[in-house]
Amino acid sequence: MNIFRLTGDLSHLAAIIILLLKIWKTRSCAGISGKSQVLFAFVFTTRYLDLLTSFISLYNTTMKIIYIGCAYATVYLIYMKFKATYDGNHDTFRVEFLVVPVGGLAFLVNHDFSPLEILWTFSIYLESVAILPQLFMISKTGEAETITTHYLFFLGLYRALYLINWIWRYYFEGFFDMIAIVAGVVQTILYCDFFYLYVTKVLKGKKLSLPA
């Protein structure tokens, strides 16, 4: 494992922990898109079904279990424990416009037409757009809490580091996965405007806001 994948995994884990701590400590999920979190739960569930069929390493298995567990814990906190604080009036992105096209694309463009491979491909495509309900929610409310922006920053950083990881693996291992790379590029592009606002506002102590 190269340093870019490791730091990418740690950034991803940091994002998840930041979000969970934010919800638990404030006893509120205000400003958090439940729809995005449900999509991420779908992503991890469909991607890590290989936990039932193969073992790669203790690290690999542990991280997969943590991702799945944290994803469903987040969904539980939003829709069950702290449901009264969930801002459903602003979390209105039509996720079917993401899930249906992504599902169709996974059937049409994949490495192997088998159930596990199609579901893995579906997870890769879905992850690239799963953050859209969250960004849409921020654009509707006009602003985001600082801790929420930290979560988004580490989530975007994780994907950017994974792109570097793919480049590293291509040059040093001869490994090339077009599906993962294209999806990663799409996901990183979605974060570009947010990254700019994060650096120019949040890191200077200002509140982040997006144009409505």
User: pLDDT tens, 91-119?
Assistant: 999 999 999 999 999 999 999 999 999 99
In angstroms, the CA 121 to CA 125 distance is 6
3-state SS class at 208: strand
CB atoms under 10 Å from CB of 135, counted, come to: 19
Residue 99 lies in a domain: yes
SS3 helix, strand, coil % of the chain, rounded to 5? 75, 0, 25
pLDDT value, residue 208? 67
Average pLDDT on 114-125 reads 96
CA nearest to 109, candidates 159, 44, 117, 127: 117
pLDDT value, residue 140? 82
Residue 119 lies in a domain: yes
In angstroms, the CA 211 to CA 140 distance is 8
pLDDT per position as a tens digit, 165-180: 988 988 888 888 899 8
Tell me which residue range forms the domain holding 86. Answer: 3-202
pLDDT band, very low/low/confident/very high, at 199 (cuts 50, 70, 90): confident
Residue 207 lies in a domain: no
Residue 125 lies in a domain: yes
Q: How many domains does the chain have?
A: 1
Residue 152 lies in a domain: yes
Residue 208 lies in a domain: no
Residue 157 lies in a domain: yes
Spatial contact of 210 and 135, defined as CB atoms under 8 Å apart: yes
- The phi and psi torsions of 207 (rounded to 5 degrees) equal -85, 140
pLDDT per position as a tens digit, 137-148: 988 887 778 878
Q: What percent of the chain has pLDDT over 90?
A: 66
pLDDT value, residue 211? 55
Residue 210 lies in a domain: no
More confident residue, 103 or 210: 103
